[in-house]
Copies of this chain bind each other. A is one copy, B any other.
Amino acid sequence: MNNDMLIRVTRYYRALNRLRSIGLEKVFAHNLADAAGVSAAVVRKDFSQLEIHGQKRGGYEITDLIDRLGTILGKGDEQHVIVVGCGRIGKALMHYAGFEPDGIKIVAGFDNDPIVYSDASQPIPVYPMSRLDEVISALKVNVAIITVPENSATDTYAQLLASGITGIMNFSPVTLKPQRTKDGIIPVVHNINIGLELEQIFYELKFPKS
């Protein structure tokens, strides 16, 4: 499965969970197409490649599809994540409820500021950075979201890799590269650069593709 197809299948999976949560039992290719932003023909082609076939009278059973796609996507237990850097963006992510339908749960936050990690009003526990190693192994988590300021992003990244983190979503404007660690692991790194995205939007508006 290539990357584009993976994104589409993940979108189908999310849409199916949402449709089931509002009581639907059956779904048609064009429903999933709408949810994933593609055409119904693409949905049918993807399903045919995954050897998923609809019913005689058209449509698919939602629960059946969720099971099939879940297996393909390697879904199972809840997926745990930590947030490193509990400034405004980090805190917003810790409070964000939108991960739950996808089985993703933020289980801990980390920050250098005693005011932040002593604040009991956070929805999840926040620890000082000095306890990173210990808490990561205790929680057996391997994915982290980096929301530290630009000037500490590189150090934080090195520290996370040394603590056994292998998957990173980076919100700092520094581009982090997936270099092989000394244990021979190549981490999975997604850089989400909000400023860069905005600049691209301005560029595309100024110079529309023909």
Instruction: Enumerate chain A interface residues (CB-CB to B < 8 A).
Output: 6-7, 10-11, 14, 35-37, 73-74, 79, 81, 87-89, 91-93, 95-96, 98-99, 101-102, 104, 142-143, 145, 150, 166-169, 173, 175-177, 186, 188, 190-192, 194-208
* Complex contacts, A102 vs chain B, CB 8 Å: 195, 198-199
A150:B98 contact, CB within 8 angstroms: yes
Stoichiometry, as copies per complex, reads 2
A79:B198 contact, CB within 8 angstroms: yes
Known contacts A81-B198, A192-B192: does B6 contact A203 (CB below 8 Å)?
yes
Known contacts A74-B207, A173-B14, A205-B166: does B198 contact A143 (CB below 8 Å)?
yes
A197:B173 contact, CB within 8 angstroms: no
* Complex contacts, A167 vs chain B, CB 8 Å: 201-202, 204-205
Cα distance, A10 to B198, chains bound together (Å): 11
- Nearest-neighbour CB distance to chain B for A123, whole angstroms, equals 11
B73:A203 contact, CB within 8 angstroms: yes
A14:B197 contact, CB within 8 angstroms: no
